[in-house]
């Protein structure tokens, strides 16, 4: 018993130490964004001056990021959900090859994907100068994170049985897909949607190569603020970034917990 308690406290201390090591820099950055003078610290007083300055100078980058993330979600839903359905119903080496090709952008550095897009479409001036060019890169990067969770749900035997039962009752393919497949795959669709939005808002490497001076997303603006502005302004920008990202990450975790509880709950008799 004494050894178990000692092991528990040792693990607890280690976990708290790691958490402090990771969270203390984040906390200091947030504090720097709401203090009048970072070098003096909280003693200099708290203020939202730097936050308002960021919103005034970089609001276009925030709105562009949110717009691209929303468009990226729509495109990945339109492509990823039907694609996951096809892969779930396709057996054999062909389906596995397609699945691996979809996941391939995760293994390739974002800079390499961006360079490939520039080499291929960089000569199309109107496309290169438009925000849809960045959207194309984001879709390539985030599509696997939509397909994988949806595919995991659609590949379950229970969903196949429900669809077969609906087909035996005379339901058309459209009726089965809209009324059986999509409602039962909503957990995977929601998880994929949250991941796509989160990754699109925070994506930097790929966007750094694709952006132009007139098209700066939130992470690009954050890097720009750290390079050219006061540390307080950059920290306030980081605070705004956290305010957008943290709720999405929390939603992913909450949904994962609710899904886990629902799976372990015994079925009603």
Task: Tell me the β-bridge partners of 212.
Answer: 215
Residue 190 token pair: 């929601």
What is the model's pLDDT at position 26? 78
* Class of residue 145 by CB neighbours under 10 A (exposed 0-12, middle 13-18, buried 19+): buried
pLDDT category at 262 given cuts 50, 70, 90 is low
Let me know if residue 229 belongs to a domain: yes
Q: H-type helices in 178-230, by residue range?
A: 182-184, 186-202, 205-210, 218-228
Task: Count structural domains, the chain.
Answer: 1
CB burial readout 73-104, b (16+ within 10 A) else e = bebbbeebbebbbebbeeeeeeeeeebeebee
Please write the tens of the pLDDT for every residue from 185-240.
888 888 888 889 889 988 888 888 888 878 888 888 888 887 777 778 888 888 88
Let me know if residue 249 belongs to a domain: yes
Let me know if residue 28 belongs to a domain: no
Let me know if residue 12 belongs to a domain: no
Q: Please state, in angstroms and as integers, the Cα–Cα distance from residue 48 to each residue in 15, 33, 223, 266, following that order.
A: 33, 8, 20, 50
Cβ(201)–Cβ(209) below 8 Å: no
pLDDT category at 135 given cuts 50, 70, 90 is very high
The answer on pLDDT for 75 being more than 90 is: yes
Whole-number Å distance between alpha carbons of 99 and 85: 12
* Rounded to 5°, angle at Cα 245 from 240 and 247: 105
Let me know if residue 30 belongs to a domain: no
Cβ(215)–Cβ(131) below 8 Å: yes
Let me know if residue 17 belongs to a domain: no
Please write the tens of the pLDDT for every residue from 112-121.
888 888 888 8
Residue 215 token pair: 């098209």
State the residue range of the domain holding 144. 51-264
CATH number of residue 139's parent domain: 1.10.3720.10
* Phi-psi domain of 266 (left: phi exceeds 0; alpha: psi -120 through 50; beta: other): beta
What is the model's pLDDT at position 179? 82
What residues contact residue 249 under an 8 Å CB cut-off, 6+ apart? 198
The 10 Å Cβ neighbour count of residue 35 is 22
pTM of the model: 0.79
Let me know if residue 244 belongs to a domain: yes
What is the DSSP secondary-structure string of 13-72? HHHHHHHHHHHHHHHHHHHHHTBS-TTT-GGG-B-SHHHHHHHHHHHHHHHHHHHHHHHH
């Amino acid at each position: 018993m004494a050894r178990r308690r000692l092991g528990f406290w040792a693990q607890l201390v280690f976990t708290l130490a790691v958490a402090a090591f990771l969270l203390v820099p984040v906390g200091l950055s947030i504090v720097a964004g709401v203090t009048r003078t970072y070098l003096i610290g909280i003693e200099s007083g708290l203020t939202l001056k730097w936050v308002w300055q960021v919103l005034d100078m970089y609001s276009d980058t925030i709105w562009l990021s949110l717009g691209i993330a929303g468009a990226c979600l729509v495109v990945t839903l339109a492509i990823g959900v039907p694609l996951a359905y096809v892969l779930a119903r396709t057996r054999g080496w062909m389906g596995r090859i397609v699945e691996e090709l979809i996941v391939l952008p995760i293994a390739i550095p974002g800079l390499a994907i961006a360079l490939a897009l520039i080499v291929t479409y960089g000569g199309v001036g109107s496309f290169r100068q438009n925000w849809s060019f960045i959207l194309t890169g984001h879709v390539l990067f985030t599509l696997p994170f939509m397909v994988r969770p949806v595919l995991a749900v659609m590949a379950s035997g229970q969903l196949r049985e429900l669809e077969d039962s609906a087909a035996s009752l005379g339901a058309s393919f459209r009726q089965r897909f809209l009324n059986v497949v999509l409602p039962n795959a909503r957990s995977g669709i929601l998880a994929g949607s949250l991941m796509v939005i989160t990754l699109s808002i925070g994506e930097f490497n790929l966007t750094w190569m694709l952006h132009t001076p007139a098209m700066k997303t939130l992470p690009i603006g954050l890097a720009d603020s750290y390079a050219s502005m006061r540390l307080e302004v950059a920290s306030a920008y980081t605070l705004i970034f956290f305010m957008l990202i943290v709720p999405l990450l929390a939603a992913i975790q909450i949904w994962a917990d609710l899904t886990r509880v629902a799976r372990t709950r015994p079925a009603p008799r």
